[in-house]
Amino acid sequence: MSSKTDDGGISRRDLFGSTAKLAALAGMAAAGGGIASVVGGSASASESKQAYEVQPGQLDEYYGFWSGGQTGELRVLGIPSMRELTRIPVFNRCGATGWGRTNESLKILTEGLLPESKAFLKKQGMLTFENGDTHHARPSYTNGTYDGRYLYVNDKTNARVARVRLDIMRVDKITQIPHALGVHGLRLQRYPKTGYVFCNSEFRTPIPNDGKILDDYHKYKCVYTALDGETMKVAWQVLVDGNLDNTDADYAGKYSAATCYNSPEGVTLEQMTNKERDWAVVFNLKAIEAAVQQGEATMMSGVPVLDGRKAARSNFTRYIPVPTSPHGCNATPDGKYFVANGKLSPTVTIIEWAKLDDLFAGKIKEEDAIVGQLEVGLGPLHTTFDGRGNAYTTLFLDSQIVKWNIDDAIKAYKGDKTVKPIRQKLDVQYQPGHNNATMAETHEADGKWLVSLNKFSKDRFLNVGPMKPNNDQLIDISGDEMVLVKDDSAFQEPHDATLVRRTLINPIEIYKRDDPMFADAVAMAAKDKVDLLNDSKVIRDGRKVRVYMTSVAPKFGLSSFKVKKGDEVTVVVTNIDDVVNLTHGFNMTGYGLSMEISPQATASVTFTADRVGVYYYYCHQFCHALHMEMQGRMLVEA
């Protein structure tokens, strides 16, 4: 599958392939694996059996929920068009919506912070963290499929988890996880519904992290967290050996699992990779819940914590050996297995959920839960599924997606040499991390489309300077062979994506007036005896001033108001338009204030009027032919 450039030189694919193979040899040596032969090559868009171009006026079949990586946001795309539909601010600041500046958003961003974080931020003159790193965005479940209620996403940087209301596509809760540094993997309980949100803390750390330990890293600990998806409070934590990476859950509500690297529990690269085996740790949810209910857990920072490390010999965990430095952890949609991906080994390991009953009962050994191990290529990271018995694994070093059959892989592991589990390998450009197929993480996996989230894109798009876009590629998997149909540039770095059938997501178009998102502003107005739908007035309460106004295209309810320098000013705007898509904005010149107010919504912002003079406020959401005239003035008197 190698190729030459027009001038006879070595192509970028050859360069990546050769250098990657050399770099991976040391990690593969322990695994003792060869490289599976390539079964299929590249396929062009013209071979696709599905229509991937969505014509003007037509709607996509799926919602795609992309994590925004270091931007701290979520992105919503249509699939298969790959059109970006909206961005949901989460851990970032957003001038278009006012997220991170309005009273409503600041309450969400701050109320779930740990006390020590609040104290630290206060000393820095900050209300909340100024950044976030979104990784895994997953919708809530009922009985093994998406139910359209919520979507959860983690912030690896500051150990937070946010919940998005899918009816309005806005965050309504954020919780910071105690005892955790680097919440990386996040997956949800599938059955009977999303009660738990499972979170991996990747970095081992002293607990408590009180500044007394650095070099004695053997005293560091790592925790696995179950967050209650309804209350957004931590239900329990389990101490584990190693560094947790990715996680997933079964379809029966009995077990969850996580890949773990760094079984030597070191802190340098050499220390962390000096063993041939790490493990996938599995969690016995019923045993954990019973122990918590019976008071066997140690309360730490108000959270029940159980010891699931090997030395504790508890019935909370078991450690299944897999090749060193495993990464992805992915449950098959038939509910039978989960797959641990090798990263430094060319293998994927298949583990059967049903065997965990005997494992926790002491009837079998940890390695007996493994029913398959297949060499798929260099750098396997993540696996997704089509619901027809096939799996699709990203090969980071080979820059490929490999399609393989699960049943055949199990047969080959048992010694059947007549089967050939690998069906096809498809080049992607370049270095894929996560991939996901439509509905693949539910029992309704339909095997239509797959997206490959590639880290590099050199030579795929117009040059934009040293920092290139990522390349998200759309692949048709409806037929016997994968067909690459579309490239889509992506700003740094969408870590992961989930593809959900559109009929399962039903956002509203106009707010209901009793929506809890702006309940505090409604309560404040009631106390001031202000009718938000009809009144526009100024309430003065000493040095605090509350300015209430309506907005209806193309006019604010107040054309001007006065305050004095040093006043604490709260502006409350209610959009009384009830026309779909008729959103208003409120932007104050000179004060850095901006917020959007959707139809029938109320939004508020508080600031100190510390700059004298006249300042205009205006609508920054184009709403009317006289949009430019939708403005008013604030006078700050000396």
Average pLDDT over residues 425-446: 97
Mean pLDDT of the chain: 92
User: Over 70: is that where the pLDDT of 29 sits?
Assistant: no
User: What local confidence, expressed as pLDDT, does residue 34 receive?
Assistant: 35
3-state secondary structure string across 391-429 = EEEEECCCCEEEEEEHHHHHHHHCCCCCCCCEEEEEECC
Over range 7-17, report the average pLDDT.
Answer: 43
User: Does an H or E element contain 610, and which?
Assistant: none
Give tens-digit pLDDT for 586-618: 999 999 999 999 999 999 999 999 999 999 999
Rounded mean pLDDT, 416-429: 97
Q: What is the pLDDT of residue 238?
A: 98
- Section 66-70 average pLDDT: 94
Q: Say if residue 8's pLDDT is above 50.
A: no
pLDDT of residue 31: 36
List the structure tokens of 507. 């956002």
Q: How much is the pLDDT for 49? A: 75
Q: How many CA atoms lie within 13 A of 309 on its CB side?
A: 17
pTM of the model: 0.93
pLDDT tops 80 at residue 7: no
Give the model's pLDDT for residue 276.
82
Which segment of 117-121, 205-209, 389-393, 429-433 scores lowest on mean pLDDT?
A: 205-209
| In the predicted structure, residue 379 carries a pLDDT above the cut 60 | yes
- Say how many C-beta atoms besides its own lie within 10 A of residue 320's C-beta: 23
Is residue 30's pLDDT more than 90? no
**pLDDT for position 1:** 36
Strands (E), 71-159: 73-79, 84-89, 134-142, 145-155
What pLDDT, on a 0 to 100 scale, did the predictor assign at position 22?
Answer: 37
Contacts of 528 (CB under 8 A, 6+ apart): 539, 546, 548
pLDDT tens digits along 617-626? 999 999 999 9
Is 17's pLDDT higher than 60?
no
Rounded distance, CA 462 to CA 157, Å?
31
Q: How far apart are CA 399 and CA 20, in angstroms?
A: 10
Q: Looking at the predicted structure, is the pLDDT value of residue 19 above 60?
A: no
Assess whether pLDDT exceeds 90 at residue 289.
yes
Q: How confident is the model at residue 243 (pLDDT cuts 50, 70, 90)?
A: very high
Q: What DSSP line would sit under 444-483, residue for residue?
A: T---SEEEEEES--TTTS---SSSPPEEEEEEE-SSSS-E
pLDDT for 212 equals 86
With residues binned 3-state (H G I as helix, E B as strand, rest as coil), the percentages for the chain, rounded to 5, are: 15, 40, 45
What structural domains does the chain harbor? 45-92+131-504 (2.130.10.10), 516-637 (2.60.40.420)
How does pLDDT run across 562-587, given as a tens digit for each residue? 999 999 999 999 999 999 999 999 99
Confidence of residue 264 (pLDDT cuts 50, 70, 90): confident
pLDDT digits (tens, 9 = 90+) for 499-540: 999 999 999 999 999 999 999 999 999 999 999 999 999 999
Q: Tens digits of per-residue pLDDT, 113-162?
A: 999 999 999 999 999 999 999 999 999 999 999 999 999 999 999 999 99
Is the pLDDT reported for residue 237 higher than 90? yes
Longest dimension (CA), the chain: 88
Residue 146 pairs with which residues in a beta bridge?
Answer: 141
Task: State mean pLDDT over 486-511.
Answer: 95
